[in-house]
Amino acid sequence: MKKKILIISGGVSKERAISLDTGKQVAKELKKNNYSVKISEPNFELPKIISLFKPSIIFNALHGQFGEDGYIQTILESENIPYTHSGVISSAIAMDKILSKKIFIKNKILTPKFLLYKFNKTKKDLIKLIEKKLKFPVVIKPINEGSSVNVFICNKKNIFKKLQNLEIYKKIIIEEFIPGREIQAAIIGKKKLGAIELKPKRKFYDYEAKYNPKAKTEHIIPVDLSSKRYNNLMNISMKVHNLIGCRGVTRSDFKYYKDKFYLLEINTQPGMTKLSLVPEIAEYYGISFIKLIELILKDASTDK
């Protein structure tokens, strides 16, 4: 008899819709393959549902805040049931763009230069600081959101207008803009899954480019790189996966510019929707959607 899987999806983050889609797609595939499946929101009913359903494994299909930042992982630890994707500490580190970038730098992994901004500088001071430390254009984004939510490329003329969109956050990251190719690489457990290149029609690979089919982002696989450069890309991805202590699947996002890979961030819970990149990479390399899900389930654990 196959295992009982409880899928947690939805939540309250800005990525709720993506999470619901991930949960729906994973549940559909598991049911097709004779698993006993139940879907739950991460609300006050969750402990009761766990108690009644008695799952063998919990599949964490949440994205964004409270789902991949260590919060839900802390709750799941108290249930002492194996759950998918990274644990409490790894999730918290990966979601915090400042903390994770400090780890990249300490371990000699190239990443764009950055500043922490707390909305307490005058316009004149901020412009001076950016011109001294980073140069324009720059990328502004929240420290702990995913799916490119509220990410903007700014120049000197529009930065303060764009910053108004981020005033809901106490602090944000201002990052050096790296032009070049958008390449993303996936790791599953101890296996280097593969990579994909993205050519968005939009200014960059933002939320619309990721989830709106009409955005018509071009997906290129295999990536046009020499075997030496490709191996370098995958080795960096595996290195950061291991450094942060991740498990299950991760996707590392890079810019490739002037023969160098700049690591932007590592995602501990990449989407599993029809438009998601990890299933697409897996399929190209001969790993079906159900096999990918089963590999993620196989790597499920607790931090204890």
Superfamily of domain 93-109+180-298 in CATH is ATP-grasp fold, B domain (3.30.470.20)
Q: Is 218 a catalytic residue?
A: no
Q: Which of 15, 175, 182, 299 is catalytic?
A: 15
For residue 174, what are its two tokens?
Answer: 């201002």
- Are 19 and 59 in contact by the 8 Å Cβ rule? The answer is no
**Which of the two residues, 74 and 157, has the higher pLDDT score?**
74
Name the band, by pLDDT with cuts 50, 70 and 90, for residue 203.
low
Cα–Cα dist 250/43, whole Å? 25
- Residue 225: CB atoms within 10 A of its CB come to 17
pTM score: 0.89
Give the span between the Cα atoms of 45 and 85, in whole angstroms: 22
Class of the domain covering 114-176:
alpha beta
Output phi, psi for 163, to 5 deg.
Answer: -60, -25
Beta pairing, strands 4-8 & 36-40: parallel
Tell me which of 21, 197, 265, 299 is the catalytic residue: 265
Is 207 a residue whose pLDDT tops 80?
no
Name the residue ranges covered by the structural domains of the chain. Answer: 4-85, 93-109+180-298, 114-176
Average pLDDT for 137-144? 88
pLDDT over 70 (residue 202) = no
Tell me, what's the pLDDT at 206?
47
Is residue 253 annotated as part of the catalytic site, yes or no? yes
How much is the average pLDDT of 105-123? 87
The residue from 267, 276, 294, 299 that is catalytic is 267
Identify whether 147 is a catalytic site residue. Answer: yes
- Would you call 207 a catalytic residue per the annotation? no
Q: Which residue has the higher pLDDT, 177 or 275?
A: 177
- 146 catalytic residue (yes or no): no
Per-residue pLDDT for 213 more than 80?
Answer: no
Residue whose entry in the numeric block shows the structure tokens 């593969």: 194
Q: What CATH topology corresponds to 4-85?
A: Rossmann fold (3.40.50)
